[in-house]
Structure 1
Amino acid sequence: MAAEGLRPLAGIRVLELAGLAPAPFAGLVLADYGADVVRVDRQGTSFNVDTLTRGKRSLAVSLKSPQGISLLRTLLAPPSSTEDWRADILIDPFRPGVLERLGLDPKDLLEKNPRLIVARLTGFRREGPYAKMAGHDINYLALSGVLPMLGRKGDKPYFPANLLADFAGGGMMAVLGILAALIERTKSGKGQIVEIDMVTGTRYASIFPLTMARPSLGLPMWSEPRGENILDGGAPWYDVYECKDGQYMSLGPIENHFYAEFLDILIKNVPPSLLPSPHPTASTQLDRSTWPSLVSFFTAGFRTKTRDEWSRIFLGTDACCVPVLNRQEVDSEGRGPDEPDRQLGEEEAEDGGGLPTPTPRLSRTPARAGEAEEAFLEPGRDTVEILQAAGLGAKVEKLVKAGAVGAGESRSKL
């Protein structure tokens, strides 16, 4: 059983090959929960713009150098001593075939170290016509079948930044797979390869709308074309409305009794002249013929007050109506202006609000956001420290001189 106060992944060692958003996010989550995450940056890179590096250390390695590849194999092999730093997990962010060409075939690595877990993140599925093509979140989302479901009626499909495929379907699915493999290893003593592709991952994360939209189920939640359903902006009572000051309120009273409460509060707080005829009632919530007039009424109604005025009116009710906060208004714990214990300094607010802290929150062994000395992790900053911990301290100077590794500012420790 973990000691009180220890983070749940303390003692787990991760080698994260530097890549784009999904893999660094997976590494960040593991680091937040206590894993020792070493990011393998490319030797010769003096700067990186990845901001998902908190709590990590950097080892700069030349992937073109036989000595560099040999070093990685050593770090992925079983330790010769219980004190030597060796990886439990390898995070592979590369396209299919890259690890194999580098001489780091996961099957070979597992043969030498049966306890190793290799998490392989790809955009497209490893097999198929897209396997070796470049792509980004929008492309994986497009192939998932989910993108055509997102957006307004009469408009083109809308993609929610790169949140759905990169982070939900990619990075978070990688964390889930890694944790499942770690738990299984406690029973079998064996590691395994964890395959994550962002097309399949996006579909898994979207199982609710993909299931609700099946005609055979006959459910009203997502049975209509894009932008005409309850949860995609089709329903007037599940939407965002602009207020008098140009800010917004979010509205979502799906359940009829919540909708009744919302209507009661709204009607009491807008001029009677705005009320449509017949007056809206909770009994006609699902009557689509009333939806156009409701959109007009809600639009005009919310514009009669500022966002903060509406926020105060709806605070403490079951109307499912809360303000749309800008990121500059939210602290690191996700607390907005109306919440107690909010901690957000003026300088931090001006810089974009608080940086998100880890969640879920564990009561006995909570996660903790790692310290970040700088916004960006210097490639090779921790090379000497890591190699010394791996029992390779005597080889550091030779590896640096051969160009197999880069030591960054840490070379001063040689």
Structure 2
Amino acid sequence: MGPLSGVRIIELVGIGPGPFAGMMMADMGAEVIAVDRKGAASPVELPVDINRRGKRSIALDLKSAEDKEIFFKLCETADAVFEGFRPGVMEKLGLGPDDVLKRNPKIVYGRMTGWGQTGPLAHAAGHDINYISLSGALHGIGPADGPPTVPLNLIGDYGGGAMMLAFGMVCGILEAKNSGKGQAIDVSMVEGSSLMMTLMHSLMASQRWAPMRGVNLLDGGAHFYDTFETKDGKFVSFGAMEPQFMQEFIEKTGLDESWMQNHLNFSKWAELKEELRTLFKTKTQEEWCDFLEGSDACFAPILPFWEAHKHPHNQARNSFTEIDGLMQPAPAPKFSRTEPEVSHGPVEKGADTDAILKELGVI
């Protein structure tokens, strides 16, 4: 089941992006064993955490000598292990990369933090919003006449953190299979989110990006790449960046051909955007969908995430799945042969402790 079938990964359970990275790999067929902390639930633990789907769980007290040994035994059976604690935490427990690699020289040891393992900020607290501030990503998001807009916690925690960790882990596992040697992977959300800004660096170097917010091609400055309110107070997205796509929109809506002449005329963007705001308010979201959806006008309705599963396109592709009565995103991407699937819903904390201890020969 899935392209990572046969791979065992140990996840030291933390918050948010770590469990999401573990879920991604579990979705792909890896056996992910979540090492949960013994004792009462943390205030940040969610009563329903989809990130825990498809995993097994063992509850350990890593300050206990007995449970440390169990953790080492787990690592001896695994291809990789990862954690998301502040730098030095695992070393203080005697469970850092050097300690684990002594017990399993082939293991890949993933480490994900906001600032990275080194540097003057490495030991400071922070969150997604701080990391994408330092990378430059946050500066480019928001209106020209206002402060940067918080883009949920997707760019730092999940794009620059969890997905970079999952990518780095798979890279490390592949390399270890060739070299027979493990290594540590240092994932910084600052660096991950900075890497995701590569196109903007290219546009700046090509003198196609103004050093300000809300006036550029991809930041809401262009009339043909923005969101618009509809007659019923809902919203749609419009992204007819290329001339041939804008031409399609012009022909369908009956706009004057002068629009094409001004398509890339920066001085006209604000004026044209106002005209589009007026135009999009002439129909409801559903009417615009009937009119434009499926054409090359680069259009889509803006859906609440809790309603996205109802859209016919998402239904046709099985983009969402229902597990234990809960609708949720299905594994992605899709594979033609080793199709991933979710084996079960969120695992309860410590649910597999006895079974795993038996497998390790501890009980």
State the TM-score, normalizing by the size of structure 2.
Answer: 0.92
Task: Please say if 1:384 is aligned against 2:326.
Answer: no
The 1:343/1:110 distance shift into structure 2, 3 A limit, reads closer
Q: Does 1:228 find its partner at 2:208?
A: no
Equivalent in the alignment of 1:91: 82
**1:152 aligned residue:** 143
Match of 1:362 in 2: 335
Which of 225, 239, 263 lines up with 1:285 in the alignment?
Answer: 263
Q: Which 5+ residue runs of structure 2 have no aligned equivalent?
A: none
Instruction: Give the aligned partner of residue 33 of structure 1.
Output: 28
Instruction: For 2:154 and 2:361, locate their aligned partners in 1 and report how far apart those are by CA, in whole Å.
Output: 40
Match for 2:357: what amino acid? L
Aligned amino acid, residue 133 of structure 2: A
User: Residue type of the partner of 1:323?
Assistant: P
1:15 is paired with a residue of what secondary structure? strand
Asked whether the equivalents of residues 146 and 210 of structure 1 are also in contact (C-alpha less than 8 Å), the reply is no
Which residue pairs with 1:3 in the alignment?
none
Matched, 1:251 2:238: yes
Offset of residue 108 of structure 1 = 2.4
Alignment root-mean-square deviation, CA: 2.1
1:20 aligns with 2:15: yes
Partner amino acid, structure 2, of 1:26:
A
Structure 2 counterpart of 1:322: 300
- CA distance in 2 between counterparts of 1:169 and 1:344 reads 23
Does 1:43 find its partner at 2:34? no
Match of residue 276 from structure 2 = 298
Per the TM alignment, residue 290 of structure 1 is displaced from its structure 2 partner at its CA by 1.9
Matches for 1:109-258 after TM superposition, within 5 Å: 109-214=100-205, 217-218=206-207, 220=208, 222-258=209-245
Give the residue type in structure 1 aligned to 2:68.
Answer: I
Q: Any stretches of 5+ residues in structure 1 without a counterpart?
A: 1-5, 78-85, 269-274, 394-414
SS of 1:281's equivalent in the other structure is helix
Determine helix, strand or coil for the equivalent of 1:298.
Answer: helix
Query: Offset of 1:182 from its aligned partner?
Result: 1.3
**Distance in 1 of aligned mates of 2:247 and 2:133:** 38
Residues 264-283 of structure 1, C-alpha deviations (whole Å, 9 max, x = no match): 22236xxxxxx8xxx74212
SS of residue in 2 equivalent to 1:355 = strand
**Alignment partner of 2:311 out of 307, 328, 336:** 336
Q: 1:224 to 1:280 in 2, by over 3 A?
A: farther
Conserved 8 A contact 1:45-1:379 = no
SS across alignment from 2:115: coil
Taking the aligned partners of 1:35 and 1:338, their CA distance within structure 2 comes to 28
Residue 224 of structure 1, CA deviation: 4.3
Q: Tell me which of 260, 267, 280 is aligned to 2:254.
A: 267
Shift of 1:316: 2.9
Counterpart of 1:194 in 2: which secondary structure? strand
Aligned pair count reads 356
Aligned residue identity for 1:185: A
* Map of 2:2 onto structure 1: 7
Distance in 2 (CA, whole Å) between partners of 1:33 and 1:388 is 26
Higher mean alpha-carbon deviation, 127-136 vs 336-345, is at 336-345
Q: Which has the larger radius of gyration?
A: 1
- Residue 185 of structure 1: how far off its partner (Å): 1.7
CA shift at 1:111, angstroms? 2.4
AA matched with 2:22: G
User: CA-to-partner distance for each residue in 1:353-384, whole Å, 9 max, x for gaps?
Assistant: 83111111110101112311xxx542211100
* Partner Cα separation in structure 1 for residue 73 and residue 150 of structure 2: 42
In structure 2, relative to structure 1, the CA distance for the partners of 1:8 and 1:91 (3 Å cut) is same
CA distance, structure 1, for counterparts of residue 84 and residue 171 of structure 2: 19
Q: 2-side partners of 1:170 and 1:361: how far apart? A: 22
Which amino acid letter does the alignment assign opposite residue 138 of structure 2? Answer: L
Q: CA deviation at 1:205?
A: 1.9
